[in-house]
Amino acid sequence: MKVNVEVECTPEEARRAVGLPDLSPIHERYVAMVLESMNGTVKPELLESMAKSWAPMGEAGMTFWRRMFDGSMKTGD
């Protein structure tokens, strides 16, 4: 037997239904910091340190991704 269930809801309603936290304040702050960085009020090093702390495996993970991107830039892929 096959049963199909369709639910119409907004992304916000779906997030709440499964119990996920509301990360919109964090997203808004991150976007604001990026915009401030573009205007020169926040140093790029601050954004880099934030990204390092959020990345899996911290500094090792950032080094891995940096090497991978550098390698693909050199080969022209």
Give the whole-angstrom CA distance, residue 47 versus residue 38.
11
Place of tokens 């199909």: 4
H helical segments located in 1-77: 11-18, 24-39, 44-54, 58-75
16-69 tens-digit pLDDT:
999 998 888 888 988 888 787 777 776 767 767 777 776 666 677 777 777 877
Residue written as token pair 């080969």: 75
Query: Rounded to whole angstroms, how far apart are CA atoms 22 and 15?
Result: 8
Of 75 and 15, which is predicted with more confidence? 15
